[in-house]
Amino acid sequence: MNTAKIILASSSQTRKELMDRLRLDYVSIVPDIDESPKGENHADDLAKRLAFEKARYIAEQHPDAIVIGSDQVAWREGAPDIFIGKPLTSEKAIRQLQANSDKIVYFSTALSVQQKSTGFERTLVEHYKVKFRKLSQAEIERYVKLEQPLHCAGSFKCESLGISLFEKMIGQDQTTLMGMPMIKLCSILRELDILVP
């Protein structure tokens, strides 16, 4: 059984909650990277680069540790090169949800697991999509006021009240939508001889 230290390269409370499900000992360290796009023309490419860079940044400092990085980029049907970021303000969240109304929004969620000392590296992208129902202005404003989804790509929290915004959800692993594909992560950890569960 592998006893290497496990580090989650993230400041995300949701990703920490997902990691907690595994009941593994781990620590969370925030990677200091530039998350702005660098010419990527598809959400998959941006998400993959950011997940890789987050894990690599921490792995450089902790070469014996198993480091987990993840990132998510959202985009609307027909526009994989126009990324939907975190709104950061209520006004932008309202605008995002207005634009999402009655549309399919896709999520490219990347995962990168690295251990520098052994040269281990797995980076992949998983997909999930949601069909928003037609939302009224009053529903949007009430939702943003109640949930304050200002640090969520797409301006919703599917694990909470955000579920009320959808007509349907399509994908194999709902944690992909939440920000880290846990089925794939568990598979990679088993590959590393980490006991899960």
Number of residues that this document lists for the chain: 197
Catalytic residue numbers read 71
CA distance 88 to 90: 7
User: Which residues in the chain belong to E strands, given as ranges?
Assistant: 6-8, 27-28, 66-76, 83-84, 104-115, 120-132, 166-170
**DSSP state letters, 100-147:** HTTSEEEEEEEEEEEEGGGTEEEEEEEEEEEEEPPPPHHHHHHHHHHH
CA distance 15 to 161: 18
CA distance 126 to 151: 21
The torsion angle over the Cα atoms of residues 31, 34, 36 and 38, rounded to 10 degrees, is -120
CA distance 155 to 90: 9
